[in-house]
Amino acid sequence: MPVMKQEAKAMNCWAPEIFYDERTEKFIIFWATSIPGRFPETDNTGDPGGGKTYNHRIYDVTTKDFKTYSDTKLFYDDGFSVIDATMVKDSDKYVLIFKDETKLPVAKKNIRMATADAAEGPYGQASQPISPDWVEGPSAIKIGERWIIYFDEYTRGRYGAIASADMKQWENISQKISFPKGTRHGTAFAAPQSVLQNLLSQKSQHRGTEGTE
């Protein structure tokens, strides 16, 4: 899908995500793109790449059938470079969770969020950081009464997480979780117990046949 074909200077299309909006019966596909000169006030705040400096914003297209798509449009901009956006619905609000990709003059590299009354926005002002610095790739899921946001602590070589019952006050629960070594940019999602048991059964069978012909 050449979603940025109309932008000759677009440097990339990073970390695509998809969200189904039940209200409009449309799929929203969104990602981060850096276009040099498009947001000059923050052009020198990101990481270098290809002789230029990355300065991302979130863009999107929508579709109902994966055959025809809307025109690409700017989806989220709050005046700073942002990547790795993901979306969840919390009661009657839609929550966009993303990484503040600012590196200069002071590195942010943390998770923030914004809310809207509709899945396609407009989304409000970004929250204050809700995670430690130097994390990315957030993935959110509600377990019981709490929201859990997992993230990749990529400079520390491990995974972390925060939890909240109201999406306002967050607790760092990184010491309470564990992931296989080398896990990067995972996605958390709910699955039926039967699917989990089948996966565990396959894993057990695989272990039992290791070293045999």
Please report the pLDDT score of residue 208 as a whole number.
Answer: 66
Given a cut of 90, whether residue 111 has pLDDT beyond it is: yes
pTM, two decimal places: 0.90
Among the ranges given (34-48, 103-117, 180-194), the one the predictor scored with the smallest mean pLDDT: 180-194
Cα Dmax for the chain = 63
C-alpha span between 123 and 95 (Å, rounded)? 8
User: What percentage of residues in the chain have a pLDDT greater than 90?
Assistant: 85
Mean of pLDDT values over 153-176: 96
Could you read off the pLDDT of 121-137 as tens digits, one per residue? 999 999 999 999 999 99
Please report the pLDDT score of residue 182 as a whole number.
Answer: 86
Please report the pLDDT score of residue 209 as a whole number.
Answer: 63
Mean of pLDDT values over 48-65: 93
Instruction: Set out the domains of the chain in order of their start, with CATH numbers.
Output: 14-206 (2.115.10.20)
Given a cut of 70, whether residue 210 has pLDDT beyond it is: no
For residue 36, whether the previous peptide bond is cis, meaning omega lies within 30 degrees of 0, is: no
Mean confidence (pLDDT) of the chain: 94
Residue 61 token pair = 């297209």
Could you read off the pLDDT of 18-44 as tens digits, one per residue? 999 999 999 999 999 999 999 999 999
Mean of pLDDT values over 73-102: 97
Given a cut of 60, whether residue 213 has pLDDT beyond it is: no
Given a cut of 90, whether residue 50 has pLDDT beyond it is: no
C-alpha span between 87 and 95 (Å, rounded)? 6
Tokens 């993230």 locate to 151
Among the ranges given (23-27, 98-102, 195-199), the one the predictor scored with the smallest mean pLDDT: 195-199
